[in-house]
Chains A and B, each alone.
Chain A
């Protein structure tokens, strides 16, 4: 049973805004040339930005962010500007949510994701 879902197309501006607000200004998120110099295809989104968006979906499914008591995910795939990731939460028992984040190619970018709420 699907409780909440949100599709997000990532942009460089959004990644930069997250870098500024979170304080994680690692240049792999901000500087295309630097990212390429360390073997990445270009800038990539923070795992914590993905998890933050996932948390908004978990919060909606839980009836408010204040109800969340646990959140877990594994960072399994890169997300680049232009990628569209669909974040979803389904019920997995009383007070438990199973969470997914899948890109436009059907690849899971976050795995083993789950939440618990009051």
Chain B
């Protein structure tokens, strides 16, 4: 489909200590134990997915959306208070038997542009 390869503008966000602590408590991690690995759901995927969902060209029907799988790869884990930049891209968009399989990747970098995290998500949009 037409949106394969589409890249969204980079989003800069700050890793907020209070939110990190609340996130850690919700998953049963030590709130004083640093940024939990899957806080990438906030600073990486969570920063860019709203752009995908709001994009009329991508036309994702949020009500029929399933998060089918998730991969994170880290070069390092960010520190609380750090500012990071995330950029989302539609890797592939395949329709099969009425279902749509959309692979969405987000690359997060730190100040200076060095890699922090790569998030790769398979969204399935039901018919």
Contact = CB atoms under 8 A, between A and B. Distances in A.
Given A66-B34, A70-B71, A49 B26 contact: yes
B33 interface: yes
Q: How large is the interface on A (under 10, 10 to 19, 20 to 34, 35 or more residues)?
A: 20 to 34
A14 B37 CA distance: 19
A68 B29 CA distance: 15
Interface residues of B, number: 28
Given A66-B77, A71-B38, A55 B68 contact: no
A71 B41 CA distance: 12
A75 B66 CA distance: 9
Given A70-B71, A74-B69, A75-B68, A51 B38 contact: yes
Contacts of B66: 75
Contact of B36 (A6, A65, A70): A65
A18 B26 contact: yes
A6 B70 contact: no
A72 B36 contact: no
Interface in A36-75: 38, 47-49, 51-53, 55-56, 58-59, 65-66, 68-75
Given A20-B22, A21-B19, A22-B46, A53 B28 contact: yes
Contacts of A75: 66-70
B8 interface: no
Contacts of B29: 52, 56, 59, 65
A61 B49 CA distance: 30
A92 interface: no
B100 to A, nearest CB: 17
A71 B28 contact: no
B101 interface: no
A112 to B, nearest CB: 8
Interface of A: 6, 8, 14, 17-18, 20-24, 26, 38, 47-49, 51-53, 55-56, 58-59, 65-66, 68-75, 112
